[in-house]
Amino acid sequence: MSKYNDTIYALSTPPGKSAIALIRISGKGVAGVLKKICRIKKAIPKKTNVVFLKYKKILIDEVVVLYHKAPRSFTGEDMLEINCHGGIAVITKISKTLEGLGVRLAEPGEFTKRALINNKIDLVKTESISDIINAETEKQREVAIKNLSGGLSEFTKKINQKISLILANLEALIDFSDEELPQDLLKKIKEQNKNIIREIQKELKIAEISKPILSGVKIAIVGKPNTGKSSFINFISKKDVSIVTDIPGTTTDSITSSIDIKGYKFTFVDTAGLRSHKNKIEELGIQKTKEIIKSSDLNLVFLEKNEKKSYNKINKKLFIKSKLDTRKNKNIKQEIFNISSCTGEGVEKLLEKIYKKTIKTTKNDPILSRERHIGIMKKALKTLKSINFNQNFDILAYEFKTVLDLTLEINQKFDIEKILDIIFKDFCIGK
Ligand SMILES: Nc1nc2c(ncn2[C@@H]2O[C@H](COP(=O)(O)OP(=O)(O)OP(=O)(O)O)[C@@H](O)[C@H]2O)c(=O)[nH]1
Ligand SMILES: [Mg+2]
């Protein structure tokens, strides 16, 4: 039985003109909609029907409808999928008609929220659905689908089982006399604890190395005016994101552009660069550059001549000299990347170097991909590491129980309201 009384609808495909659009409806009012606008009295679940939508004698569109009967649907409620023509007027007319029938527009993520509340999916799966929709690169997709297919759930289940085993052993120590128990049971518990610590540490390490998969890598482009910074960001973005002129100081603000390198998201930031300023605008732009340098994972310093020493204060950096196509004397120094944003010469090699400098690959993709999971596992690890085995068994059992409560949080619904807002803020309407 659904925990909701109202019926919701949403356009699940992107808004705008398209060949086909998908409108989903979920809730108790689905049967009414089927009868009133689809003219289907008894729909067969999971069977497609090609029908003319009609309401109050007005013909709306010819559509394909698919009915899912509760609880055997994504939300656990009666659901209807209307595949209509993707015309803006068609979508508006269907939406208005549904609203006239008392069906309301869903909030972002509301279909998935209903699936979660109605026990159709677990918490980790809910988060993975959001992650797979928001995945922009191949690596992000790989991590999301791994968890959607149960990667994190399996890992936490394994950890929970191991902690439960320790608790069972401790229970035995509390309840039975020494003679009835196998020797060195406490030693065994200590070993089991070490084993759990190792497993969590391993996953936390992979999560740390894999941070760039999810958050991406930030690369600042700095240097003197007219050194070709904006031309470079335009070249790698394959479009004009930044204005280019031969007037020094063209770029006054920061401009970002993200590109995919080997499945990772790299966000390049073109800046006003570093130079002495002539006016307030330039001063603010240069100030901003300094902040971007500090927060970026790597800085590309574009050189005019050989002013490398002026950038001693910048930590993570690569030196670049552009306009290779115009230079007669191609005095190529090893530690400087020579490129041309006109011909593209040297750019591929530079991108390869940027990748190598910022990405550490691991054999395994991360299982702990969200701050929520990492936070819980870090807390669990801290408690497990601090356990003092010289205490009374009751206290020991209490401490392991605290860890179990924590790790169970990854996939359980207590405190649900607290975390729902965090999870559903990334959802789009229609999911
Ligand atoms: N031939 C050639 N010209 C380039 C190249 N890169 C940049 N230029 C030219 O150099 C001038 C300055 O280029 P920008 O990309 O605007 O330089 P910038 O470093 O962004 O300059 P500011 O925004 O003023 O700091 C323009 O006239 C570009 O067309 C290149 O690889 N080859
Ligand atoms: Mg510029």
Strands across the sheet with 104-105, in order? 48-55, 58-68, 79-86, 18-26, 8-11, 104-105
What is the Cβ-side half-sphere exposure of residue 226, based on CA atoms within 13 angstroms?
6
Residue among 222, 224, 226 whose CB has most ligand 1 atoms within 8 A, to mutate: 226
User: According to CATH, where is 3.30.1360.120 located in the chain?
Assistant: 8-121
CB contact at 8 A, 270 and 299: no
In 185-298, which residue ranges form alpha helices assigned H by DSSP? Answer: 185-209, 211-215, 229-237, 280-295
* Helix, strand, coil fractions of the chain, as percent rounded to 5: 45, 20, 35
Tell me the C-alpha distance between 288 and 285, whole Å.
Answer: 5
Residue 118 has pLDDT above 70, yes or no: yes
Task: Give ion ligand 2 contacts, CB < 5 A.
Answer: 229-230, 250-251
Q: Taking residues 43-50, report their average pLDDT.
A: 93
Q: Taking residues 199-211, report their average pLDDT.
A: 93
For ligand 1, atom 3, the nearest C-alpha belongs to: 323
What percentage of the chain exceeds 70 in pLDDT? 93
What pLDDT was estimated at residue 306?
A: 86
108 C-beta neighbours (distance < 10 Å), count: 16
- What torsion, rounded to 10 degrees, do the Cα atoms 97, 99, 103, 108 define? 110
- Atom of ligand 1 at shortest distance to CA of 224? 25
User: According to CATH, where is 1.20.120.430 located in the chain?
Assistant: 129-210+367-410
Residue 414 has pLDDT above 70, yes or no: no
Q: Taking residues 126-141, report their average pLDDT.
A: 92
Residue 331 has pLDDT above 70, yes or no: no
Token couple for 164: 């439960």
Helix count (H) and strand count (E) of the chain? 14, 12
Q: Taking residues 218-230, report their average pLDDT.
A: 96
Given the DSSP bridges, would you call strands 264-270 and 255-261 parallel, antiparallel or unpaired?
A: antiparallel
CA 201 to chain centre: 22
Q: Taking residues 318-332, report their average pLDDT.
A: 86
User: According to CATH, where is 3.40.50.300 located in the chain?
Assistant: 214-358
Question: pLDDT-derived band of residue 195, with 50, 70 and 90 as boundaries?
Answer: very high
Residue 423 has pLDDT above 70, yes or no: no
Mean pLDDT value across the chain:
91
Correct CATH for 129-210+367-410 of 3.40.50.300, 3.30.950.10, 3.40.1360.10, 1.20.120.430: 1.20.120.430
Residue 329 has pLDDT above 80, yes or no: no
Residue 365 has pLDDT above 80, yes or no: yes
Residue 317 has pLDDT above 80, yes or no: yes
Correct CATH for 8-121 of 3.30.1360.120, 3.40.50.1480, 3.40.50.2300, 3.40.50.300: 3.30.1360.120
- Atom of ligand 1 at shortest distance to CA of 322? 31
What pLDDT was estimated at residue 94?
A: 97
CATH 3.40.109.10 fits domain 214-358: no
**pLDDT tens for each residue of 2-42:** 778 899 999 999 999 999 999 999 999 999 999 999 988 88
What pLDDT was estimated at residue 335?
A: 86
Tell me the C-alpha distance between 101 and 80, whole Å.
Answer: 14
Residue 253: which region, alpha, beta or left (left: phi > 0; alpha: psi -120 to 50)?
A: beta
Residue among 224, 231, 269 whose CB has most ligand 1 atoms within 8 A, to mutate: 231
Residue 136 has pLDDT above 70, yes or no: yes
Tell me the C-alpha distance between 228 and 240, whole Å.
Answer: 13
